[in-house]
Structure 1
Amino acid sequence: MNISYRDKYAATDEAIVIGLPSNLNEMKNRDEVDSLLNGMLADSIKEEVLSSEMGDITTTGVTIQRDYRKVIAVGLGDTNILEQTDLQHIFGKLFQFLKETDTQRVQVLFETFKYAPIRPAEAFGLMSVISVHEFESYKTDRKSLFTNEAAVTVTGAKDAEAEIERYQKLGRSIAMARDFSETPPNIMTPQHMADKIAAIFTDNEYVSGEVKDDETLEAEGYGLITAAGKASQAKPRLVTIKYAHPDAAHCKPIALVGKGITYDTGGYSIKTKTGMPGMKYDMSGAANVIGMLNAICEMELPVHVVAVVALAENMVDGNGMRPDDVYTSYSRQTVEVKNTDAEGRLVLGDAVFHASQYSPSLIMDFATLTGAVVAALGTERTGVFTNKSPDFLDDILRLSRETGETMWPLPITEIEEANVRSSEVADIVNHVEKPGRASFAAGFIKQFTNGTPWIHFDIAGTGTKTKQTPYGPQGATGVMIHTIVKYMEGDRVHE
């Protein structure tokens, strides 16, 4: 989508986009809009030609200097209660409308969307990308719904130009993460994903990194990643990327850790024929961490971050891990495997302990980890856990409400601690046949945090959508990228 800027409205052949509040007297440029509609603004709403109901998109035609112009009205509702998430929905629906109607050239009267305390430039930039982004599928006759590169001119928004472009960068990073997750697993193997990650960050002056291959992982004692990936011909990788902006290079880093199971058959605890399709998305935690880091780089945030993604393919062969096996983790703790389909927590165990070696002030991990969190919270809320007190999550929870990426705190108690340590042959066990399995899985990962403050995000329910929303088509969502980038923008991130 091509976005350009103009100081004020110009009489062109572009369709005109306006925001309509319920109370027209709140419009700063009501007279200008009314004039464009030939004095019929109020009557158009009264006669239900146009709607000011929040999220409604209606159209009409007007004659301006003898030329016909299309007007697209976006309902804003009561602007006294309009929130940032509402504005994101509104712009998402607008861009999807333009896409579906193949509207090629529009002029957005940006002043009609400016109401405190919302940030229209941020929402506009973000949603101009993610609401209409499509994965480049492998169909030989693929035709995009958006056959044109839409030309959008934003008027009266010179002060917002930089902010719009800034949040387009965030949108492109979310789109990148979605594309990683959507790529078929025969292509998105651990090595392929590691190679693509390296290519993305190679030329950034603030970035350094390394990729550990399967031989290195085994030699250096990453027993859990090795176990999870050893049955596949596509061998595991551990990717570490360090971003150190000069203004924060002296600070302890924030560690972002992602589960990257590029395909999950369940191993010998094999999934059913209906449970296996869609398991290409089991690397969405890793994909989203890469999206977070890409946004941080593109926006040049003054932070210090270490990103770690553990990549493996959970397959079945004669060399595969079995229930009852015992493996030694990178932390030197021994783990009894009771369920080979609980492999995500294994790779995260090694990856989280690896991240702790960088002495971070905080570790955050992201994983499509458990079906149990979906049973508990559904598909609209991410489960969030911590090894600190509940109020440690306050900042993240507040930001998630602003971004619309809803989260719900879940516990890790002495019950989970006892269950994780209930093995009779090893230090800990990766699975128990008891209720509370989302908390158990989080409790397992907690054993590898090495005393570092830690937050775990179980995105099993929110990592994908089964239908289109204003935030984009069905499929991978890139969930938590927006929230974590907003967190990284905060003044207190390195306190």
Structure 2
Amino acid sequence: MKFDYSESYVVTEAPIIIGLPSDFHQMDNFEEVDTLLNGLTASIVEEEVLKTELGVITTTGVTIQTDYRKVIAVGLGDTARLGQTDIQEAFGRLFQYLKDTNTKDGQLLLDTFPYDPGKLAEALGLMSVISIYEFESYKTDRKPLFAGEAKLMITSRRDVKETIIRANKLGESIALARNFSETPPNIMTPEYMADKVVAIFKEQKYVSGQVKDHESLEEEGYGLLAAVGKASKAKPRLVTIEYRHPDAGSFKPIALVGKGVTYDTGGYSIKSKTGMPEMKYDMSGAANVIGMMNAITEMELPVHVVGVIALAENMIDGNGMRPDDVYTSYSGQTVEVKNTDAEGRLVLGDAVFHASQYSPSLIMDFATLTGAVVAALGTERTGVFTNKKPEFLTPFFEMSRETGEEMWQLPITEIEEENVRSSSVADLTNHVEKPGRASFAACFIKQFANGTPWVHFDIAGTGTVSQRTPYGPKGATGVLIHTVVKYLETGDVHE
């Protein structure tokens, strides 16, 4: 969506878009709006032609200098109760209304929204991208994307342009992650995905990186990642992206690690015919790390971050990983494989230990890891685990309340530690037939953090949605990109 900017209302044929709080006198420019509505604001609201309920979109028509103009109102409710997620969702519904009605022009009177101007502009810039996101499908009769054709005039006495542009970059990075996740798996193979990442970041400022192919992974001892990917003709890759802004100084980096299983059949522990569809999304953790790194570089955050993207396709052939096999990880620890469908933790084991070699101050990993986390928390919350005390997670919870990406901490205890080490033939096992499997999987990954502070985000329930929300359509969500980038932007991450 393209934006133009003006300090005051411009007479055009485009619809006028306003925010409408329960107490409409709270608008900074109420008199201007009331004039545009021919002095009828009170009666229009009283008769519920335009409604003030939060997130409700209503329309009417007015005559301005003998010409008809459409007015679109975004209900804001009681402004004393407005939070950032409310504003985001209200804008999301607005942009979706514009898309649904094919309204490609409009003039948004931003000063009618009685809310912090900076946060208002942030929400506007972000939601103008992600709420109307479309994957450019492979249909032969596909139409041009709405966002590429739509234009909006932003009218405000405040200077909000740079904030909107900055938030747009975040939105585009979420869209980028969604594009990776939505691409069919016969195209989005480990090699193709690695090549795409290289193409995205090779010209970015302050960025360096490397890609390890299958031969390098085997030669250098990445035994778990190599084992998961060895049955596929599309061999595994390990991609590292390092972004070091000059203002980050000599501080240790933050490491972001993503599980990128580009398709998961389950291997010899094969999934059912109903469990296999949509397994293209099993690389969403890696896709979201790509989105995070893209936002960090585009926004030129003054941080030092290492992104590690572990890519493999979990298939079956005569050379495939089997239950009862034992492999040696990059850390040197041996692992007995009891379930080849518990492959994500293997991929992350090598990737997290690889990340630890950069001596980071914090490792965060992201993975569509377990169905158990969905059973525990549903599809509205991400499961969070750490090797630190609970208060270590406080900044993430605070940030998530602002972004609307809910999360909940789950435990790792001595029970999981004992179960992870219960193999009679190897140091670790990747699976046990006991309850608490989300915690078990997290505890397995913890063994590879190498003493580094570590946080694991299980996005199995939140990496996709089954129906449209104000944040976008059915499918990949790009979850936690907003929260993590916001954390890196505003948190004391290098202390």
Q: TM-score range by the shorter chain?
A: over 0.9
Matches within 5 A, 1:355-394: 355-394=355-394
Whichever residue aligns with residue 316 of structure 1, its letter is I
Q: Indicate the residue corresponding to 1:104 in structure 2.
A: 104
SS for the counterpart of 2:486 is helix
1:450 corresponds to 2:455: no
1:150 corresponds to 2:150: yes
Whichever residue aligns with residue 51 of structure 1, its letter is K
Whichever residue aligns with residue 301 of structure 1, its letter is L
CA offset digits 1:446-476 (Å, max 9, x no partner) = 0000000000000000000110111011000
Q: Indicate the residue corresponding to 1:475 in structure 2.
A: 475
CA contact (8 A) 2:129 2:147 kept: no
SS for the counterpart of 1:247 is helix
Q: Indicate the residue corresponding to 2:263 in structure 1.
A: 263
Shift of 1:249: 3.9
- Aligned-partner Cα distance in 1 for 2:249–2:323: 44
Shift of 1:283: 0.2
Q: Indicate the residue corresponding to 1:79 in structure 2.
A: 79
Shift of 1:144: 5.0
Whichever residue aligns with residue 475 of structure 1, its letter is G
CA offset digits 1:355-399 (Å, max 9, x no partner) = 000000000000000000000000000000000000000000110
Q: Indicate the residue corresponding to 1:182 in structure 2.
A: 182
Shift of 1:493: 1.2
Shift of 1:114: 3.5
SS for the counterpart of 2:39 is coil
CA offset digits 1:136-161 (Å, max 9, x no partner) = 10011122573871110001155111
- Aligned-partner Cα distance in 2 for 1:249–1:214: 34
Identity of aligned residues (%): 73
Cα distance change of structure 1 residues 173 and 148 upon mapping to structure 2, 3 Å threshold: closer
CA offset digits 1:211-269 (Å, max 9, x no partner) = 00000000000000000000000000000000000000411000000000000000000
Q: Indicate the residue corresponding to 2:231 in structure 1.
A: 231
CA offset digits 1:406-454 (Å, max 9, x no partner) = 0000000000000000000000000000000000000000000000000
- Aligned-partner Cα distance in 1 for 2:405–2:157: 27
- Aligned-partner Cα distance in 2 for 1:98–1:226: 47
CA contact (8 A) 1:5 1:157 kept: no
CA contact (8 A) 1:22 1:52 kept: yes
Q: Indicate the residue corresponding to 1:203 in structure 2.
A: 203
1:278 corresponds to 2:281: no
CA offset digits 1:158-184 (Å, max 9, x no partner) = 511100000000000000000000000
Whichever residue aligns with residue 215 of structure 2, its letter is E
Cα distance change of structure 1 residues 463 and 155 upon mapping to structure 2, 3 Å threshold: same
- Aligned-partner Cα distance in 2 for 1:32–1:312: 58
SS for the counterpart of 1:373 is helix
- Aligned-partner Cα distance in 2 for 1:268–1:167: 44
SS for the counterpart of 2:149 is coil
SS for the counterpart of 1:321 is coil
Q: Indicate the residue corresponding to 2:291 in structure 1.
A: 291
Task: Out of 168-177 and 17-26, give the one that drifted further.
Answer: 17-26
Structure 1 gap ranges (5+): none
Structure 2 gap ranges (5+): none
Shift of 1:105: 1.2
Matches within 5 A, 1:280-429: 280-429=280-429
- Aligned-partner Cα distance in 1 for 2:63–2:306: 57
- Aligned-partner Cα distance in 2 for 1:118–1:24: 21
CA contact (8 A) 1:412 1:443 kept: yes
- Aligned-partner Cα distance in 1 for 2:227–2:157: 55
Number of corresponding residues: 495
Q: Indicate the residue corresponding to 1:139 in structure 2.
A: 139
Whichever residue aligns with residue 424 of structure 2, its letter is E
- Aligned-partner Cα distance in 1 for 2:480–2:205: 26
- Aligned-partner Cα distance in 1 for 2:132–2:182: 15
Cα distance change of structure 1 residues 160 and 275 upon mapping to structure 2, 3 Å threshold: same
CA contact (8 A) 1:99 1:145 kept: no
CA contact (8 A) 2:45 2:51 kept: yes
- Aligned-partner Cα distance in 2 for 1:333–1:44: 70
- Aligned-partner Cα distance in 2 for 1:116–1:305: 30
CA contact (8 A) 2:421 2:427 kept: yes
TM norm structure 2 = 0.99
Whichever residue aligns with residue 105 of structure 1, its letter is D
Q: Indicate the residue corresponding to 2:168 in structure 1.
A: 168
SS for the counterpart of 2:248 is coil
- Aligned-partner Cα distance in 1 for 2:344–2:157: 46
Q: Which runs of 4+ in 1 moved over 2 A?
A: 143-148
CA contact (8 A) 1:248 1:304 kept: yes
Whichever residue aligns with residue 100 of structure 2, its letter is E
Pairwise CA RMSD of aligned residues? 1.1
CA contact (8 A) 1:370 1:438 kept: yes
Matches within 5 A, 1:24-35: 24-35=24-35
CA contact (8 A) 1:363 1:453 kept: yes
Shift of 1:14: 1.3
Whichever residue aligns with residue 193 of structure 2, its letter is M
Shift of 1:117: 8.5
Shift of 1:27: 1.4
Shift of 1:116: 3.9
Q: Indicate the residue corresponding to 2:434 in structure 1.
A: 434
Q: Indicate the residue corresponding to 1:494 in structure 2.
A: 494
Shift of 1:104: 1.9
- Aligned-partner Cα distance in 1 for 2:331–2:359: 15
- Aligned-partner Cα distance in 2 for 1:365–1:279: 19
TM norm structure 1 = 0.99
SS for the counterpart of 2:467 is coil
- Aligned-partner Cα distance in 2 for 1:94–1:393: 33
Shift of 1:2: 0.9
Whichever residue aligns with residue 277 of structure 2, its letter is P
CA contact (8 A) 1:5 1:154 kept: yes
